[in-house]
Each structure stands twice: as structure tokens, then as C-alpha cells.
Structure 1
Amino acid sequence: MSAVMNTRMNEPAVPVAESPPARAVKPAVAEKAQAVAAAQVQSNGRKISFKPFLLAVLPPILGLALLVLIWEIVAAKSSGIPTPLVTLKAAIVLFSDPFYQNGPNDQGIGWNILMSLERVGTGFGLAALVGIPMGFMIGRFKFLSGMFNPIISILKPVSPLAWLPIGLLVFKAANPASIWAIFICSIWPMIINTAVGVQRVPQDYMNVARVLNLSEWKIVTKILFPSVLPYMLTGVRLSIGTAWLVIVAAEMLTGGVGIGFWVWDEWNNLNVPHIIIAIFAIGVVGLLLEQALVAIAKAFTYEDVRN
């Protein structure tokens, strides 16, 4: 036994291949991992930065291009419709001086838009002062709801322009008659949406108010108003859109300074490019009004407000 052990101890040692030091391997692996991660971050960064941008910008551009293409085709087949290029040149000339004044019936398109906005603001403001409190009362008290619901159901479907002769009869002037038409068309969405919001307030909130013996003012300000606000702002958005639609038609009938009368006057002058420019101007102003109210709605409610 001892002889065998001595023989093995006297045999030459077999050389063993040495592995690279761990300290040398780890930095190389770490650097490679960092390079792969950096490449992934860069590739992901490209996807995040460009794909949503294209999805947001490309569809509107294609939509406008399709509109211009259809417009060009229609203009080529009809001699009375101006081409997009002719309309663009007329728009450049028109908006180079939008606030000129050559008399009471010859003013720039800027003054006409501002006058229409003033009428809309006045009628819309009066409708809000009357319609929102009335909506709260109708939604809060069943007796008032049963009393006014038949009246609203009858008058709401009536065209706003049908009220214009009544305004001319009562006020004896075109400007207050136009404001009256704006008022009567704007008030219904505010009343209905506010009343619906009040009626959908959870009954548990009202039970707590009774237990705490809250006054009616505190119930309105602390419970109803925060809960009804999204519904109320929806009614406001619907009202402003309807008001801007109605003012154009009302001004065509009543005359004076305003974008509706300006369109009718340009039609009498057979200036079709100006009519098309006015159509786009009316659409842009209406879009800006609605987007402003969407921004206000987002600022005052946590709910998602969409178009």
C-alpha cells in the first residue's frame, strides 16, 4: 500500500489547462450585455418616437389630401366651382387685411367673425344663466320635473330658425332677434344634461346629507355640483356647437354685419371662392370653440372627456 502511494507521488504531474480569470470574464460579459441593452433601447426609442407620431399625423394629412383631390375633380367637371389653387390665392388676399372697413356693409371677414362670436357669446351666456339653474331644479325636485318635462319635450324639437320671427316681432330689431335664436337653441341641452346629471347622483350621497342635516345650499355646492359637472359640461359643449350653427343661418335672414350675412352677400356678388373660404373659416372657428370647452372640461373633471 505504501509502495503504491510512493509510486503515485513520484509520477510527474499532468498539466491542467487554466481557465481565464473570473475578473477578466465578468467585465467582458457586462460590456456585451450593456451594448445589447443600449441597442434595444435605441431600437425601442425609434419605435416609440416615430410610430405614434405617424399614427397621429398621417391619417389627418391623408384625409385632407383626399378632400382636396375630390374638390379638384369636382372643380374640373364644373365650371362654377373654383379649384383649390384659385381658392387659396383668394384666401391669401382676403386674410392679408381681414379687418378693413369701407362702410357699414363692407367690412373684412375678421370683423364679421367677431360680430358673430359676440352674438353667440351673448345668447349662449344668457342660456347658461337660465338653463343650468333650471336643470338643477328640475333634476332635484320631482314636482318641477313633471311640470316642465312636457314643455321641454314639445319645444325642444322646434327648429331654432322658427323662433326668429318671434324675436323680430318682440324686439323689433335684427341683432336682438339673432341673440334670441341663439338663446332658445342653446338652453335645451344645458337643461336636459344638467337635470340628468342631478338625477344620477347616487342615493347614498343624499342619504348622508339627510343624516347630517345639510342645508339645500350645501347639498347643491358640496354634493350635486361636483357630481353633475361632467354632465353639465357636456350640455355646454352641445349648446356651443348648436349656437354656432344657428348664428350663420340667422344672420343670412336678418342681415347686418356677421359671417352669415357675409356669406350671403358674397353669393349675391357671385364670389364663390369667398363662399368656400367662409365655409372653412366657420368650421375652424367652431372647432376652436369646441376644443376650448374640451380643455375646460378636462381641467374641471377627472373623467375622460372625448369628442
Structure 2
Amino acid sequence: MAVTSKRLPKSAYARPKESIWKNENFLAFALFIASLIVFLGGWEISARIGILANMPTASLTLKELWWWTTNPFFDNGPNDLGIGWNLLISLRRVAIGYLAASCVAVPLGILIGISPIARKGFNPFIQLLKPVSPLAWLPLGLYVLRDSEQTGVFIIFISSIWPTLINTSFGVANVSKEYLDVAKTLGASSFRTIFKVIIPAALPNILSGLRISMGIAWLVIVAAEMLLGTGLGYFIWNEWNNLYIPNILVAILIIGLVGLILDSCFAAVEKFVAFGRK
């Protein structure tokens, strides 16, 4: 006698639907929204009743933010540019200085990580120059280069080179000796070993250094531009001279948002590289 099996409907195999109140992403988003409402509400009330002396209200700041983001590219002269133009100027300076620093820091970091002689030879320079505040280079840059644009790029270069250099050399120096032994056993040349073994193995550390360097570059350019003219830093300084604090807060919010976007891009690349190594 043949025995027939009765298939259960697909719903019988389906997992029970998780409650939205147990979803980690939803709870995190809800917490963010709630804390934002509390922050803005506390800011508004404190400014209106005088607890925050001379501080503009949250509603006025958001109104100015809306105006600047909907009118970002007007040009009424060098001292009256839309915030979009100032943002592009700052990003241009950061991009040039950051890319130049990366092109120097990554190869030099690989060399230092591979060679003990290079590590000992360059380490005094790194330890001497790394602690110097980027703004300490500003007067020297202005005096030597005699150009605010080139000085801004120089400041970004000198401030963003160290995290990438140090992280790259650390990652290369700590590549597993087993990987190197396997490459040597297979007869790989030094050039091939560097590009096929050492760099891929050290890539997470290199990306971490690049991510830190970008954060420092974006942090430094705003301070440097207060003396260079044009850019978001100059926008803040100009609004301070006009004694209009809401526009300063608008610029601070935009700087924070752009920094968040840049950091999120690097975080996504780091996550992709880490996933690929599993």
C-alpha cells in the first residue's frame, strides 16, 4: 500500500513575524527622533525664556537653514556667496590636499612597514611633526606660498598625512608571516608579494587611516579658512563679524552633516572590505 505524504502549506514553515518593537533599527531610529525632538524643544524653550542668553531660537535657526539650503548658489561678490559655493570651495581644498597626502602616506607607509631600516630612519620625523597643530603651519604657509588657496591645500596635506601613514605602516608590519612564507614558497617576486599579499592583508588598516585622515582634514579646513577667505570657515567668521548667530549655527549644522556623509562613505567601504575577507 503506497503511502502518500501531504505537504504542509508554506505558511507552516514561515517564521513568526518579529514585532516592530523588537526591531533594533526601528528602536534606534525612534530613539534618535525622540531625542531630537527633546533637544529642539529644550533649545526653543530655553532661548525664549532667557536661560540661553543671546542664543537664537531653534525655530529661527531652522528657518535660516531652510533659506540657505534652498538658495545655495547666489553670488553677490566674494564676501556674499551662497553657502553652496562656500561648501564646494571647502570640499575642493580638502579633496586636493587629502589626495596629495594619501598619495604620499600610503606608499611611504608600505615602505616603513616592510623595511625596519626605513622605520627607524623616518620615525624621528614622524614623532617630531605629528604632534604639531595644523594651525601652527598656517602663518608659515601664508608667508612662503603667498596664496590662500595653496596654503589651505598645504594645511590639509600636512594635517591628514599622519593617520594614513601610521595606520598603513602598522597594517603592513603586522601582516601574518604565514602569508609571506606561502608567497615565498610559491616563488612570488617582491613586487608581486607587495601587491597580491601585503596590501590586501593590510587594506583594513589602510582604510581606517584614510577614514581618520578625512575626518581631520574636514575638521582643520574650517578653522584654517577663517583666516584664508572664502569657504565655510570664512562664512562663519563673516557671520560673526555681522553678529548674526543663526547663520553660524546653520554653517555648523552643514559642516556636521557633510562630515557625517563623508565618514559614512568610508564606513561602507570598510564594511565591504571586512566582509570580503571573511
TM-score, normalised to structure 2, is: 0.90
Alignment match, 1:62:
34
CA distance in 2, matches of 1:70, 1:217: 60
How far has the Cα of 1:70 moved from its partner?
A: 3.6
Match of 2:146 among 165, 172, 176: 172
CA distance in 2, matches of 1:207, 1:264: 57
CA change 1:107–1:208 in 2 (3 A) is: same
CA distance in 2, matches of 1:195, 1:259: 33
CA distance in 2, matches of 1:74, 1:157: 40
User: 1:149 is paired with a residue of what secondary structure?
Assistant: helix
CA distance in 2, matches of 1:191, 1:270: 41
- Do structure 1's residue 138 and structure 2's residue 112 form an aligned pair? yes
1:60-99 alignment to 2 at 5 Å? 60-75=32-47, 76=49, 77-99=51-73
User: 2:275 is paired with a residue of what secondary structure?
Assistant: coil
Listed one character per residue, the Cα deviations across residues 166-192 of structure 1 (whole Å, up to 9, x for unaligned) are: 211221111111111100111000100
Alignment match, 1:156:
130
- Do structure 1's residue 222 and structure 2's residue 196 form an aligned pair? yes
Contact 2:167 2:208 in 1 (8 A): yes
Unaligned runs of 5+ in 2: 1-5
Contact 2:44 2:59 in 1 (8 A): no
The total of aligned residue pairs comes to: 269
Contact 2:166 2:209 in 1 (8 A): yes
1:149-298 alignment to 2 at 5 Å? 149-255=123-229, 257-298=230-271
1:102-141 alignment to 2 at 5 Å? 102-141=76-115
Unaligned runs of 5+ in 1: 1-29
Listed one character per residue, the Cα deviations across residues 41-68 of structure 1 (whole Å, up to 9, x for unaligned) are: 5xx3151x45315313112112212322
Structural RMSD (CA): 2.3
CA distance in 2, matches of 1:198, 1:101: 48
CA distance in 2, matches of 1:225, 1:46: 42
CA distance in 2, matches of 1:46, 1:204: 45
CA change 1:299–1:113 in 2 (3 A) is: same
How far has the Cα of 1:205 moved from its partner?
A: 1.7
CA distance in 2, matches of 1:64, 1:297: 28
**Aligned amino acid, residue 36 of structure 2:** L
User: 1:261 is paired with a residue of what secondary structure?
Assistant: helix
